[in-house]
Structure 1
C-alpha cells in the first residue's frame, strides 16, 4: 500500500523509483539507477546483492514500475487491497522485493545469484526494457511478475498495434457528393478488420482485435476532413503475417501510421506441482534481447488480469503473501539444479 500511495502512471515513475531505491539500499542491496535518455526523471532500477558485473546474477526477477491511468489511491478491507497497481504491478513489485530479501536472509549462499530489475513504460512502448538491454544482463533464468491468478503462464499472445490516418475532403453534409468523409472511409476499414476471420491456435486460442481509440471530424453537419483510429490485435501467430493481412484488408484506403508488434512467446513450464496456463496479455518479455539464451523464462503473479486496468482493480492479501513463497521456492529449485 505504501508503493500504491506513490502515483506512477506511465511517464511519472520517477518518485516510485526513488522510494524503492532508498528502501532497498537500507536492506543491503546494491542499486543501479538507469535514467531514460532525455527523461532523467524516469529510471529503471537494478538491485543486486553484490556490485554489478556485466552479465549479472543467475536469476533475474522482473516487473514494471508504471501503471495505467487514472491514479486510484489504495484502500483495504483487511482481506483485499484495492486501487491502481494493486495487482498490475505494484503487488508484483512488493512480492518480488520480499522474495529476494527472504532468499538473501535465509539462504545467503544464493544471495549473489539473484537480482531484481524494475522497468518503466511496460504499459505503453516497453522503453524501459529496451533501455535495460544496455545493461548487458545475461541471467540463466528470468522470472517476470504479472497477475496470473497464482498460475504460471506457459505461453503469451503477441501484440500488433497499428494507427490509421484517414484523409477526406470537407463539405456540407447536405451535399455529400461535394466531399469525401474521412470518418466513413475509416469506418469501412475498421469494419473489414473486425469481421475478418483471424487464425486461431490450439495453444493460445483466438486471435482477437480491439479498436481502442477513434477520433475524427470537425462538425456533425460536415463531412470529416480527417480521422484516426488505433487498434490492438492479440495475435496467436507471427506478427509480420498479421501486419501483412492488415495491409491487404486496408488496401490503401487509409494510411497506416505507427506500428508496434511482437510475436507470441512460448514460456517455460514450471516444475511440479505448479500449474500453468496460456495468457492473452502482453509483457516486456519479447523486448528482453537475451531471452532466446535463457535456460528458463517464467511468468507468474498474484491477482487477476481480468480486473487489472479497471476502476475496481484489487488483489488478495493472502494470495500476495503466498506469491512470495512461490517465488522463493521456484528460485531455490532452479539454483539447486
Structure 2
C-alpha cells in the first residue's frame, strides 16, 4: 500500500475529541510494526495516549490523536490528501512515523513517540503524560507536529481564558436603583479593550477577544447578573495578565478562575532556519518535563478546522525529510542536554 493510501486510511478513522480510541489503536499498530515498545496511557475509559520508544528515547516525536468536529472522510487527489485531520494532525503523525522508519533502519533507536488525546480541548492527555514521565524516558527534545507550512516556529502565544461575572441589584428601570450588572460589565469591558496587553519581539502584541456577553431579563428591569467570556492570546506571564485584568474590574465584577492559562512558549529552532511566529496553541505548554520543544509540520493552519482541510503531497514529503534530518541533528547533541 502506498504512503498516501495509508494516510487516507488514517483519515478515514473518526477521532473527534473524546472518540480517539480506534485511531490510537491504528497508530499503535504502526509503531509496533516498527519494532518499538508501545504503551497505552489511560486518561479515561476508552481514551488514552499512545507512547512508543526505542531503548533510550532522547528525541520524541509528538502530535495529537484528536480532531475537531465534524468528521469527514478522505479524498485522494493528484496533489493532495483531503479530509478531517489530514493536516491537523494525521499528516504530521504519519510523516513522523516515516522519519522514524528511516532512523531505525540506520540503527538509531534513541527515539520515542507521544501521541496525545484531548489537545483540541484542554490538553488533558499532554498533562497526564507530563505528570507520569518516568525512566527510561529522558527526552532532551520533543518535536511537536502541527501544520506550520514546513517552517519551524520560534514561539506561539499563550492563552488566558476566563469569565467575568458581574453582580447587580434587580429593580424597576424607572427608579434610581442598582447597580446594574450589565452596566458594570460594559464599563469593565471598555477598560479591558483599551488595555495594553504587552508585546513580544517575535509574536507582536497580545490580543483580547470578548467572545460572549449575556445578562439581564428585560429592557425595563435593572440587571442583577451578567456574564462575559474572554480569551487573551497572551505574550506575558499569566500573573501579569491577571493583574492587568483585575485592575479593570469594579467591586461588582468578579474574575472567575481561568479555564486555561499559560504564557508564551518559545521553541528551539534548528540552525539555518528562520523562525516564524504562530498564533495557535499546542500541547507544548503542558509538556514542560519533555525537554526542549520544537514546532514544525506539513500543511497550513489556514486549512485546519475547515471543510476543505488538506495536506499536499509535496508538503508531506518535505516533512518526512525534515523530521528525519532534524532528529539526526538533535540526537547528535542530545547527550550534552540535561
TM-score scaled by structure 1? Answer: 0.86
Helix, strand or coil at the partner of 1:308: coil
Secondary structure in structure 2 of the residue aligned to 1:319: helix
Greater than 6 Å deviation, 4+ residue runs: none
Q: Separation in 1 of the partners of 2:280 and 2:216?
A: 32
SS at the partner of 2:314? Answer: helix
Match of 1:46 in 2: 51
1:23 to 27, 30, 52: 30
CA contact (8 A) 2:49 2:115 kept: yes
1:221-300 equivalences in 2 (<5 Å): 224-259=223-258, 260-272=260-272, 274-291=273-290, 294=291, 296-300=292-296
* Partners of 1:215 and 1:225 in 2: CA distance: 12
Conserved? CA contact 1:270–1:276, under 8 Å: no
- State the partner residue of 2:4: none
Q: Alpha-carbon deviation of 1:169? A: 4.6
Structure 1 equivalent of residue 95 of structure 2: 95
Q: Hey, what does 1:53 align to over in structure 2?
A: none
- Residue of structure 1 in register with 2:3 after alignment: none
Write the distance in 2 (CA, Å) between the matches of 1:81 and 1:214.
39
Q: 1:94 to 1:229 in 2, by over 3 A?
A: farther
Q: 1:215 offset after TM fit, Å?
A: 4.1
Query: CA RMSD, aligned part only?
Result: 2.4
Contact 1:21 1:45 in 2 (8 A): yes
Superposition TM-score, scaled by structure 2 size? 0.85
Closer, same or farther: CA 68–180 of 1 in aligned 2, 3 Å: farther
**Aligned counterpart, 1:6:** 13
Instruction: Report deviation, 1:179.
Output: 5.9
Per the alignment, residue 317 of structure 2 pairs with: 321
Residue 218 of structure 1, CA deviation: 4.8
- Structure 1 CA distance for aligned equivalents of residues 237 and 222 of structure 2: 38
Consecutive unaligned residues in structure 2, runs of 5 or more: 1-7, 334-338
The offset of 1:5, in angstroms, is: 2.0
SS at match of 1:88: helix
Distance 1:82 1:99 in 2: 22
- Quote the Cα distance in structure 1 between the aligned partners of 2:36 and 2:300: 30
> In structure 2, do the counterparts of structure 1 residues 214 and 309 end up closer, same or farther at CA, with 3 Å as the change threshold?
farther
Name the counterpart of 1:67.
67
8 A contact 1:81–1:317 mirrored in 2:
yes
- Which whole-Å CA distance do the structure 2 matches of 1:15 and 1:226 have between them? 44
> Does the 8 A contact of 1:267 with 1:299 survive in 2?
yes
After TM superposition, the structure 1 = structure 2 runs for residues 95-244 of structure 1, keeping only pairs within 5 Å, are 95-105=95-105, 107=106, 109-110=107-108, 112-133=109-130, 134-136=132-134, 137-170=137-170, 175=174, 181-218=180-217, 224-244=223-243
Q: 1:34 aligns with which of 13, 31, 41?
A: 41
